[in-house]
Chains A and B, each alone.
Chain A
């Protein structure tokens, strides 16, 4: 089963809970962090909407 290994967002009130959460300054910053996490963790970045990304381990 796939596992959420991280959450990246620009809206603090959107998120909470178990996975590591990273707050981005704006959408460009959010893309940058998601990009970094994708490469480093070898996990896919999926966009829930423009302001909320989840990093998912599909293996």
Chain B
């Protein structure tokens, strides 16, 4: 009886299933984790509503196209326009908040977050579109299966890589030579005050990031990526720092001869295991990832020397 009804009202089923799965994709990708964003209820409501709208737009387009109403596709471009606005909104909010952070996220990290927010909405549209398509094409049960498959696929694609994929993270001792602070053999900074030196030696944790290949060297040298590491560790473990204490500064410096990255963090809570894990789990920023080896290989293939 129920199944018969679903067959009889194919278009309605397509729209409802499509919207539901589009929304479901957005819900599963809405993270409230240590980054605390968007953890506040209002942020969540904004993104859930947009997810619903994305799902609805994606699924409604399909029955329209089946009825040879081809202008329906312009609907989707309208949606794209809307979601570019989402990216702007995220960027503006985060940039405004960033000025008030003890350890700012940095422009590259903010841009990365904003892009992800936009991308998630497109995935919601795509899921809704394909689900709705299969319902109309074959039947509601195929739509259901495709929806579930896409749910898994979308989450898989949005995972992204982490620092641990491109670099070996090692804890390294901090040492002072006069006023000069080193982590391992990487020079960090000159600390003038005895008081600051004591605090850094007591509370600081040092890490050395060794890039796994030449591409990784370029990526961890990126200033935005370094700032993201400092911000994430400071968010997870707190930071021993205040406005007006410029010498207590978590810092990341490159050992130029080796390409290794030396990092000093000053956590509120000196838990080396957690600090180690949080450095490893920092997301790789899209803006920082470079593939120079691939680019060079291609260019030599195109122009043989001699």
Contact = CB atoms under 8 A, between A and B. Distances in A.
A35 to B, nearest CB: 5
Contact of A34 (B193, B244, B246): B193
A47 B247 contact: no
A12 to B, nearest CB: 20
Interface in B250-300: none
Interface in B169-202: 178-179, 190-195
B246 A31 contact: no
A44 B194 CA distance: 13
Nearest to A55: B192
Contacts of B243: 42
Given A35-B195, A46-B179, A47-B178, A58 B190 contact: no
A11 B249 CA distance: 29
A43 B243 CA distance: 11
Interface residues of A, number: 14
B246 A43 contact: yes
A34 B178 CA distance: 16
Contact of A42 (B178, B191, B195, B244): B244
Interface in A7-59: 31, 34-35, 38-39, 42-47, 49, 53, 58
Nearest to A39: B244
A53 B193 CA distance: 9
B192 A42 contact: no
A34 B243 CA distance: 17
B247 A38 contact: yes
A42 B243 CA distance: 8
B245 A53 contact: no
A5 B193 CA distance: 16
Contact of B246 (A44, A49, A53): A44
A44 B192 contact: yes
Q: Which residue, of A38, A39, A49, has the highest number of chain B Cβ atoms within 10 A? A: A38
Contacts of B179: 46-47
Contact of A47 (B190, B195, B246): B190
Contacts of A34: 192-193
A7 B193 CA distance: 14
Interface string B192-214: 11110000000000000000000
Nearest to A35: B193
B280 to A, nearest CB: 29
B300 to A, nearest CB: 39
20 contacts: A31-B195, A35-B193, A35-B195, A38-B192, A38-B193, A38-B245, A38-B246, A38-B247, A42-B243, A42-B244, A42-B246, A43-B246, A44-B249, A45-B193, A46-B190, A46-B191, A46-B192, A47-B179, A47-B190, A58-B246
